[in-house]
């Protein structure tokens, strides 16, 4: 049970970190938010994969789901655009 939880945390951190690197510009957020975005992105990718492919998604769909969540976080929580010169500024 403990190893499962640790695996979920590490997987969420890796997926969330890669998603943050994929979206240009600074994304200051705590580690727990990176893990949460990675975990929820994995769930989102799994659901999309199940609907479109008939089986759960893998690493790539989990990463795409997390990238979508990073974009939504930046747009609606940080109130910054995703592209353009304002995407490179730090949130206020």
Q: What string of pLDDT tens digits covers the 92 residues of the chain?
A: 889 889 989 999 999 999 999 998 888 889 999 999 999 999 999 899 989 888 877 899 999 999 999 999 999 988 888 888 887 887 77
What confidence score (pLDDT) does residue 83 get? Answer: 84
- For 10, 37, 59, 76, the CA distances from 15, given in Å and listed in that order, are 9, 8, 8, 21
> What tokens does 56 get?
């759960």
Contacts for 15 with CB less than 8 Å, ≥ 6 apart: 37, 38, 39, 41, 42, 59, 62, 63, 66
pTM for the complete prediction? 0.88
């Amino acid at each position: 049970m403990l190893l499962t939880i640790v695996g979920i945390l590490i997987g969420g951190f890796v997926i969330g970190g890669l998603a943050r690197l994929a979206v240009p510009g600074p994304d200051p957020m705590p580690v727990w938010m990176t893990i949460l975005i990675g975990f929820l992105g994995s769930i989102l990718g799994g659901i999309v994969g199940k609907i479109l492919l008939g089986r759960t998604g893998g690493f790539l769909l989990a990463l795409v789901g997390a990238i979508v969540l990073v974009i939504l976080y930046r747009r609606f929580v940080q109130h910054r655009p995703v592209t353009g010169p304002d995407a490179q500024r730090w949130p206020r």
